[in-house]
Structure 1
Amino acid sequence: MRAAVLDAYGEPLDIRDVDAPSADGASAVVAVEACGICRSDWHGWQGDWEWLGLKPEAGQILGHEPAGRVLSVGDDVETISEGDHVAIPFNLGDGSCHQCRNGHGNTCESVMPLGFVEPAQGAFAEEVRVPAADYNLVHLPDGVSSTDMAGLGCRFMTSFHALAHRASVDAGDWVVVHGCGGVGLSAVHIADALGGNVVAVDLQEEKLAKARDLGAFETVNASEVEDVPREVMGITDGGADVSVDALGIAQTCTNSVMSLGTRGQHVQIGLTTQDEQGAVSLPTDLMVMREIEFIGSLGMPPTRYDEIFEMVATGKLDPSGVISETVSLDDVSDKLAAMTDFETVGIPVIDRF
């Protein structure tokens, strides 16, 4: 099968033929119909996240936002059948540990991040193997396309979990999203659907325009103001109720915390770069005085996807609205390179392999 393989950090991925995976035991193989190209893939391509033990090694197939059709299943698979239309969460759980059994499979005790570790080769490929298929594979509703649902593997579901499960977004709450990449734009759309008044912050007007299309009530161009938190304070009349760092650099994290009012909630979705290496200084005294909460949020348990699908069915959510373009597998390196300077808007999706 054709796959995009990491040979050297920052260099074009090698599009080459590799052995196709096989299904055995509790695993399944999915024929990939679409796969998003995510900024997390960019981090892996850059060789980031060694401090998390997630630095991909040479020979790794990247890609962690796939949707497609089940091609084959192992003898121990019970609820998944050949031909099923499925999405694959990037946070693959074993389905049997304490966290998985209690509804927190996104923080599985033996989680395998798809596309970042050797046992979980990714989906920039024609086929992908999924362990614990009964637990990890998510049946898609009838009538949806794999391309429209590709973001459910990471960015869209990550934002949904962050805002619907980890934070407390109530109708009329001010929600600020710092960074309008794919996950940030997803957060804008989801916060709006949950009833929040959304303020979107970014450096690029094109991304802010997209945020307005997806429901942002107000936008802030960080390149045009001296003090982002002060600007947000003015818009929200004293500070946001929920603020999201959807990028993961020191500036957006600090701005997010500083944008909050008393008893506000900061939600950290973005993971850091080589500059921060997993650590960011915080205004802790201010957080104490305002009783600000700092909430980490990772992926989403596969057992809760039905909540997204119910909102899609009623028209409150539209994951396809964040999809910006479709490309071929041969274009993946160019799209990763464009992310270095934040040139992509929304979610580019591979639909031709």
Structure 2
Amino acid sequence: MKAAVFHGVEEPLQIEEVEPPTADDDQIVVETEACGICRSDWHAWKGDWDHMGVIPMDGLIFGHEPAGTVAEVGDDVERFREGDSVTVPFCLGDGTCEHCRSGHANVCERLMPLGFIKPAPGAFAERFPVREADFNVVKQPDSVDPVEIAGLGCRFATAFHGLVHRVDLTAGDWVAVHGLGGVGLSAVHVANALGANVIGVDIIDEKLDKAEELGADETLNANDVKDVPQAVKQFTESSKGVDIAVDALGVPETCQNAFNSLGKTGQHLQIGMTEGEDGGHIPIPMDNLVYDEREIVGSYGIPPNQYDEIFRMMDRGKIDPGKIVTETVSLEEVPDVIESMGDYDTVGIPVCNEF
């Protein structure tokens, strides 16, 4: 089968013929119909996350935002049959640890991130296997296009999990999203669906325009002001600051701007992951955190038990991940798309749907 194969940090992925996977007893093999191309793929390709032990090995197949059809079922798998339409959260749990048992499989003690380690090869391939399928795999609604499910992927799902389950968002709250890439635009769309007043912040007007399409009440080009946090606060009542600030990029500037745009008792939601030179460390004014009783929380993927919430909102027309998909490409184009993400000008979510 064809796959996009990693052979070294910042070396272009190679489209190669590789051995197709077969299903172990607990696994299914999925025939890939679509897979989102994520900035996390770029981070791993750049070698940004070696401080976390995420070190891509030669021969790895990336791709962690898949949708597809079950092609093979392991002997011990009970919930799935060949032909089922499925998606897979990239955080593959083992189903047995305390976090998996309590509904937090996205932080499993023995987590295997799909498409980031060789034991869990990803979906930039014609087929890919999934461990502990009965626990990890999610049946997708028959009426939903695979490209839309791929758009749901890790970015939309992580934003949804963060805003619904990790912070205390209520209708009428002010939410500022700093960085309007795929996950930032997803956060704008979800926050709007939840009844928040949403502010989108970026430096590219095309992304700001897209945020308005997805429900942003206000937008701000950070290049047009000297003090981004103060400019964000001006949108809120009495300039008190926002209730929730999202850093959807992970660089010091957006992280600090997000935190400093909060009002008292506000919550900072960190979704963006840092780049190599930061090594996971960004300075935050801790005295302000104490004095104003602010909070910092993170959101990493989504556990499989929360997908039904997304599907119900999609069914009712409250959210539409497909609106954030802006480009579809072939497998042969995936290497160039990943490399181009270093330019920061990708608008929305690109999806590979030709294998």
Q: What amino acid is the match of 1:160? A: F
Q: Separation in 2 of the partners of 1:225 and 1:275?
A: 26
Q: What amino acid is the match of 1:308? A: I
* Contact 1:6-1:60 within 8 A present in 2 as well: yes
Q: Which residue of 2 aligns with 1:118?
A: 118
Q: Which residue of 1 aligns with 2:103?
A: 103
1:153 CA drift (Å): 2.7
Q: Which residue of 2 aligns with 1:60?
A: 60
Q: Separation in 2 of the partners of 1:331 and 1:343?
A: 17
Q: Separation in 2 of the partners of 1:107 and 1:152?
A: 19
1:126 CA drift (Å): 0.4
1:57 CA drift (Å): 1.3
Q: Separation in 2 of the partners of 1:93 and 1:151?
A: 22
The SS at the match of 1:277 is: coil
Counterpart mapping for 1:196-207 below 5 A: 196-207=196-207
Q: Separation in 2 of the partners of 1:234 and 1:142?
A: 45
Q: What amino acid is the match of 2:206? A: E
Q: What amino acid is the match of 1:265? A: Q
Q: What amino acid is the match of 1:188? A: V
Q: Separation in 2 of the partners of 1:189 and 1:209?
A: 13
> Does the alignment pair 1:73 with 2:66?
no
Q: Which residue of 2 aligns with 1:181?
A: 181
1:47 CA drift (Å): 1.2
Counterpart mapping for 1:262-341 below 5 A: 262-341=264-343
Q: Deviations over 1:166-192 (max 9, x none)?
A: 011101000000100000000000000
Q: Which residue of 1 aligns with 2:259?
A: 257
Q: Separation in 2 of the partners of 1:112 and 1:270?
A: 20
Q: Separation in 1 of the partners of 2:305 and 2:242?
A: 30
Q: Separation in 2 of the partners of 1:117 and 1:334?
A: 21
Q: Which residue of 2 aligns with 1:162?
A: 162
Q: What amino acid is the match of 1:127? A: R
Cα RMSD (Å)? 0.7
Q: What amino acid is the match of 2:58? A: A
Q: Separation in 2 of the partners of 1:9 and 1:53?
A: 15
1:343 CA drift (Å): 1.9
> Does the alignment pair 1:7 with 2:4?
no
TM-score (norm 1): 0.99
Q: Deviations over 1:41-78 (max 9, x none)?
A: 00011111001111211211111000000001100001
Q: Separation in 1 of the partners of 2:285 and 2:10?
A: 34
1:81 CA drift (Å): 1.1
Q: Which residue of 1 aligns with 2:350?
A: 348
What count of residue pairs does the alignment treat as equivalent? 353
Q: Deviations over 1:133-184 (max 9, x none)?
A: 0111111112111111103330111000000000111010000001000000
The SS at the match of 1:62 is: coil
* Contact 1:87-1:152 within 8 A present in 2 as well: no
> Does the alignment pair 1:46 with 2:40?
no
Q: What amino acid is the match of 2:312? A: E
1:11 CA drift (Å): 2.1
Q: Separation in 2 of the partners of 1:83 and 1:265?
A: 43
* Contact 1:33-1:351 within 8 A present in 2 as well: yes
Q: Separation in 2 of the partners of 1:56 and 1:203?
A: 31
Which of 238, 241, 244 in structure 2 is aligned with 1:242? 244
Q: Separation in 1 of the partners of 2:74 and 2:223?
A: 53
Q: Separation in 1 of the partners of 2:52 and 2:256?
A: 21
Q: Separation in 2 of the partners of 1:352 and 1:343?
A: 23
Provide structure 2 residue ranges, at least 5 long, that are not aligned to the other structure. none
Q: What amino acid is the match of 2:264? A: T
Q: Separation in 2 of the partners of 1:341 and 1:263?
A: 35
Q: Separation in 2 of the partners of 1:275 and 1:240?
A: 29
Q: Which residue of 2 aligns with 1:213?
A: 213
Provide structure 1 residue ranges, at least 5 long, that are not aligned to the other structure. none
